[in-house]
Amino acid sequence: PTVVLEAPPIVSAFLGSPETSQIGELPSIADLVDSVEEEVASISVESVNRGLFFDFTDEGAGSGIIVSSDGYIVTNYHVIHDVIAVKVDLPNGESYDADIVGWDVVTDLAVLKIEPESSLPVVEWGNSDSMRVGDWVVAFGNALSLKGGPTVTLGIISALGRTVPTERGSLYHMIQTDAAINKGNSGGPLVSLDGKVIGISTAMLGQAQGIGFAVSSETALPVIASLIEHGEVVRPSMEVSVEDVTPAISNRLGLNVKEGVIVTRIAQRGAAFDAGLQVGDVITDLDGIPTKGVSDFLTLLWSYEVGDSVEVSYLRSNKLFETSVELAER
């Protein structure tokens, strides 16, 4: 008998067929690249390393996103940290010395300012909250400082809401992607297929391939606006340190909850101290909204203004209490 081997439907979709689905015909992104690459800048920096007898000048590179026609450019804080000079190269071949307007360590973002000779093209922002795991994205950046325009890579959103540990603290609500993000990509845009920026490439894991991270547009936009207007980001604080309640912590401490944030340190005479909170308390919600972990806690906390009062629900000895905390400046 004749044996006919057929590929499974999902494989056939990739190989192509008369009824090829969208997954089998990936659209060309050439037009998208043409429209976005004019809004991506290359950044070069100089820093000084202090030697025992001599000082040495180091050079570094990153990427930037043009966010205003008069020369405001967003990049990563770690790109411009401790530098003595910043230069911005535009896609049209023009180069400018840049001033550092401000930075935010919490989100690893910074804003630069140049004085261009003419009006600059500006990126269009998208809503990162509308993106889903599996959506296609395109990363632009000054990868490896290669000349001739930005490097463009295609991938998907691999995960949303990631917490990424760095040497300066954790980054929260990050977009994870398998679009190649290499040294020099930091500060470049992560773009949806409609050409809108939904993230700012920030980090890659050196010990893993195909894993890169970007600050979501919903996180970045208010930070950028504050940096441009004030040169800094002012955030409210309860003046406490917290950690995730994990199943292991819950079992060890005999808690009757498996999620939340546990208070590990309280500033003396600070906002939480004055409200009666103690080390070991487990905060379960703010104003009735659950805080399942540190990421949820900080995202919700930073949605308030300094001076606001927040109703905090917490567990102490497995008994539920409430208190009102007046938020201080971080």
Instruction: Report the alpha-carbon distance of residue 115 to residue 70 in Å, rounded.
Output: 7
Beta bridge partners of 156: 136
Tell me how far apart the alpha carbons of residues 213 and 175 are, in angstroms, rounded to a whole number. 5
Q: Which of 42, 63, 108, 128 is catalytic?
A: 108
Catalytic residue among 42, 158, 186, 217: 186
Residue 108 annotated among the catalytic residues of the structure: yes
Using CB atoms within 10 A of its CB, is residue 26 exposed (0-12), middle (13-18) or buried (19+)?
Answer: exposed
State how far the Cα of 20 lies from the Cα of 18, in Å rounded to an integer.
6
Query: CB of 200 within 8 A of CB of 76?
Result: yes
Considering the candidates 78, 104, 173, 216, report the single residue annotated as catalytic.
78
- How many CA atoms within 13 Å lie on the side-chain side of 108? 27
Query: How far is Cα 232 from Cα 214, in angstroms, rounded to an integer?
Result: 21
Indicate if 230 belongs to the active site. no
User: Active-site residues: which are they?
Assistant: 78, 108, 186
